[in-house]
Amino acid sequence: MALEKPAAEPKPTAQVVSYEDDEEAKAGVDIWKYVFGFTEMAVVKCAIDLGIADAMASHPEPSISLSQLSSELGCCPSSLRRILRFLVHRKIFRHHADADAYSQTPLSRRLLTRGENSMAAFILLESTPVMLAPWLNLSSHVAGASAGAPPPFVTAHGDDVWAYSVANPGHSRLIDDAMACHARAAVPALAEDCPEVFEGVLTVVDVGGGNGTALRLLRKAFPWIRGINFDLPHVVAGALPPCEGVVDVGGDMFQGVPKADAAFLMWVLHDWSDSECVQILKNCREAISESKSGKVIIAEAVIGEEEDGKLTGARLALDMVMMAHTSGGKERTEKDWAHVLRDAGFAKYTIKPVRAIQSIIEAFP
């Protein structure tokens, strides 16, 4: 008698759970971004130091093999492949598997040591030991700020970032180079998106203008402007070569600002506390007081209360940078800006978004 095969038990139906809907599963993956978050900056810095993007840009063909690239850079091929694998995964370079070759992407072109969109100097500044050390003191500062704990940069280096830069010219140059590369990206966006801001403005004083890159770019977009590049004496001493229509003036914005139709401040006020911003803005208001069309043009981030824009994360990160690297600086909401501008004596203001991390704030006496 043949034995009957028992009927198979029905298999349980698998329950498909979306990764995005399963918070525990997502957390188990996302936490690794924070465990190894430092590696992205470190490997990108490595790529800049090695000159990977520059070597690709100078290669006669659109793509370059690993052997050609390692020979060009004088690098160990196996180590270079691992660096590239990491960066390809983050879409910084492109790998062509059929030819085992690599090519540039729009993101990698921002790692070129020269170029309109290069951010290499900014990355090299932020990845120096000088700028990294304060982060290790962030928690002690937050815990003790109400009791007068010093800012993280002061704890790490004994001076604030400005005094440190005066005493360390090499670091000061890194800051100037970083601000210049940022200006090359931000000023064209400002000029293209808000050209009306400079209509009727004949003279501009760039307060905290660094080596003069921003003002020269403004003159390129608006050639009728005559500009004053105004910064601390040791900063303007290292300004770009003389340029028609631009003069470099050394001074202290807390003491006074040269006269002009408009005062321009880009990424200056976020370095300072509210009371310090009020003092700077009062001096700017005095500088434009003799002009019928006088105004102050501020290029700074404006953090939205319920913002979901693509640059929100960068703006919030920049706020943390201010906490780590300055003695009272911060990124501000529109409400914060309204408070500072009112206390500085400005009657009205407008805010205009541009394709940059900053918005344009026009302040009128």
331 is catalytic: yes
The CB density around residue 110, as the number of other CB atoms within 10 Å, is: 20
Active-site position among 270, 276, 305, 334: 270
Active-site position among 171, 325, 331, 362: 331
Examine the pLDDT at 1 and tell me if it is beyond 60: no
More confident residue, 102 or 23: 102
Sequence ranges of the chain with CATH classification 3.40.50.150: 120-364
Architecture of domain 25-111: Orthogonal Bundle (1.10)
Pairing of strands 101-104, 93-96: antiparallel
270 is catalytic: yes
The per-residue pLDDT for range 104-163, each reduced to its tens digit, is: 999 999 999 987 789 999 999 999 999 999 999 999 999 987 778 889 999 999 999 999
The per-residue pLDDT for range 289-348, each reduced to its tens digit, is: 988 889 999 999 999 865 567 889 999 999 999 999 999 999 999 999 999 999 999 999
* Phi, psi of 49, deg, nearest 5: -60, -40
| pLDDT attached to residue 116 | 78
Active-site position among 59, 182, 300, 325: 300
Measured distance CA(66)–CA(353) in Å, rounded: 42
Q: Which residue has the tokens 């700020």?
A: 145
Q: What is the DSSP letter of 243?
A: B
Sequence ranges of the chain with CATH classification 1.10.10.10: 25-111
Compute the Cα dihedral for 208, 210, 212, 217 and give only its sign: negative
CATH of domain 120-364: 3.40.50.150
